[in-house]
Amino acid sequence: MAIDELHKAWAKLDQLETQERYLVERLSDIRKAIKAQKIKISDLGPPAINRLPTELLSQIFTFCIPDPKFPEKPLHRIVSVSRRWRDVVWNDPSFWTSIKVTPSQDKKLLKKQLKRSLHDAYVKLYVFLDAIVPHANRWRSLIISDRLDAEPVQSILLKINHLSVPFLREFSIDIWGDFDYLPCPDFLSPTHTPALEYLTLKPSFRLDSFVALPTLKALDLSFPYVNDPPPVMSMLTPAHSLTSLVLDGDSEGWSFKKNDLHYPLLEKLTLYVDEPVPFLAAIVAPKLRYVQCQILDSMEFDTIEGKFRDVHDLSLIFSYQVEDRSREPLCRAFPGVRRVHVAVWDASFLMTSIHCSGVLGERPPIDQFLNLETVIIESLHRRWLECWELGDDPIVKWLRGRQESGLSRLRVRLSPVHVGEDWAKASIYYALLRKHCDLEIFTSNVVTW
């Protein structure tokens, strides 16, 4: 019995040793194959992405940054991929043209960013300018935006007023806080900012001495409520290169001559002012296509009937004081409109019929836009549905009336109804609308059909 056990043990050992020799030989073969594969890979070169020239790789990375003023997040993802990608980003000045300054900013890190920027500087400034004022000759964009007290605001203005910024293309100051009207920055002059193209001044600055630079392409001004209005005519006359203009605030007392402000390149105009019509009567803008306007008294639009035939896109903000009898002059001032933006609570102002003689008079004022293609209705809320029986609200009645009158079918873009749990009512409302228009439900980023 013992002899049999011994033979079995020797046989097992022989089997294991055979397996060991096989595995050793196999391991040797695998190691040789690995070595051969490494040699082959080395001969073939690195992956295609790593064989790209640095300049081309940098250009590819720029397409990963949607807004060059806010590159932090996409750059963080890029540099985490590999050492080469990190080196490419760190050594390319174009990726360091946006520098954010905050009270908690690490000074050493800020200096590194400024060193990497080398040439250009898009500067997003929140509080203090100490670290970047010495680099003002490299600024391309200076944006001051935050809630600040009076003291830091005054400090900012003092630091930048003496500067000469020869390559600055954009200056925006949009701050809010408890302080009196601010003095207009002194450095906004052809001498100090000869390349300025985009300018925003908010909140209300004292604009008595402000003159728009002839280089400006976009201007956004907020006017304070004052006893003596600034000389708006002389202020805006030099800005012949404007393509976008936004005026906000108090317009009482503005003095204009009819057709005396010439903007040959102006395409977009926004007027959040008390009296928009005098300004509209004063401008000559053959390329104007978009107008956004606050309406307090639309009877005044009778004085500019038919003037803006080439405006295709009209956005209206109504005051509760507007009377029904004044609706038609507004529509006649913009006879070529193709798209209208309106809040839902203002929709009835344009979409309910006027009782008077004549077929056209029986139709709502909005139907006087004979080229109308799209209506964008915003701020739809469940309270709107609660005010009307389904199918009896002004929007549905207007669209149904258009269809029955044989007018063209419109595209209606509608903000989603915030109805809580009452989705059934919203669905029925959408279905009623779809009978009479091509309906789109949109949010800020998504459109659904």
The DSSP line for 263-329 is -TT--EEEEEES-HHHHHHHEE-TT--EEEEEES-GGGGGGGTTTTTT--EEEEEE-TT--GGGHHH
More confident residue, 18 or 132: 18
CA atoms of 280 and 260, how far apart (whole Å): 11
CA atoms of 163 and 144, how far apart (whole Å): 16
In a domain, 19, yes or no: no
pLDDT of residue 375: 93
Same domain? For 204 and 66 the reply is no
What mean pLDDT, rounded, does the chain reach? 79
Of the pLDDT bands very low, low, confident and very high (cuts 50, 70, 90), residue 371 is very high
Is the Cα torsion angle 206, 208, 209, 214 positive or negative in sign?
positive
Query: In the chain, pLDDT over 90 holds for what percent of residues?
Result: 21
The string of pLDDT tens digits covering residues 416-449 is 776 555 677 778 888 888 999 999 987 644 333 3
Same domain? For 211 and 284 the reply is yes
In a domain, 55, yes or no: yes
In a domain, 428, yes or no: no
Same domain? For 275 and 128 the reply is yes
In a domain, 33, yes or no: no
Same domain? For 70 and 152 the reply is no
pLDDT of residue 256: 86
More confident residue, 333 or 318: 333
Of the pLDDT bands very low, low, confident and very high (cuts 50, 70, 90), residue 108 is low
Same domain? For 254 and 235 the reply is yes
Residue 103 in this model has a pLDDT that exceeds 60: no
pLDDT of residue 72: 75
Between the alpha carbon of residue 35 and those of residues 29, 45, 48, 120, 128, the distances in Å are: 10, 15, 22, 48, 58
> What is the domain-level CATH number for residue 203?
3.80.10
Same domain? For 182 and 232 the reply is yes
Angle at CA of residue 14, ends 13 and 20, nearest 5° = 90
What would the mean pLDDT of 373-383 be, rounded to a whole number? Answer: 85
Is the Cα torsion angle 107, 109, 115, 119 positive or negative in sign?
negative
- CB-CB contact of 412 with 439 (8 Å): yes
Same domain? For 221 and 340 the reply is yes
Same domain? For 74 and 115 the reply is no
Same domain? For 208 and 325 the reply is yes
The string of pLDDT tens digits covering residues 12-64 is 888 888 888 888 888 888 888 888 888 777 766 666 777 788 888 888 888 88
Q: Name the domain count of the chain.
A: 2
In a domain, 337, yes or no: yes
Token digits of residue 102:
């905050």
Same domain? For 101 and 204 the reply is yes
Residue 292 in this model has a pLDDT that exceeds 90: yes
pLDDT of residue 118: 52
Q: Which of 225, 227, 245, 252 is nearest to 293 (CA)?
A: 245
pLDDT of residue 200: 92
Q: Which of 337, 353, 368 is nearest to 398 (CA)?
A: 353
Same domain? For 271 and 307 the reply is yes
pLDDT of residue 351: 72
Helix axes 83-90, 72-79, angle to 10 degrees: 140
Q: Which of 40, 64, 95 is the last residue of a domain?
A: 95
Helix (H, G, I), strand (E, B) or coil at 382: helix
pLDDT of residue 353: 61
Q: Which of 38, 70, 95 is the last residue of a domain?
A: 95
In a domain, 103, yes or no: yes
pLDDT of residue 445: 43
Residue 325 in this model has a pLDDT that exceeds 70: no
pTM: predicted TM-score of the whole model, two decimal places: 0.70
Token digits of residue 285:
């803008």
Token digits of residue 274:
């008390």
In a domain, 426, yes or no: no
The string of pLDDT tens digits covering residues 248-262 is 988 887 888 899 899
More confident residue, 336 or 130: 336
Same domain? For 187 and 79 the reply is no
Task: Give the residue numbers spanning the domain of 66.
Answer: 49-95
pLDDT of residue 411: 94
The string of pLDDT tens digits covering residues 150-191 is 666 677 778 888 888 899 999 988 776 656 677 788 888 889
In a domain, 167, yes or no: yes
CA atoms of 118 and 92, how far apart (whole Å): 9
CA atoms of 285 and 269, how far apart (whole Å): 10
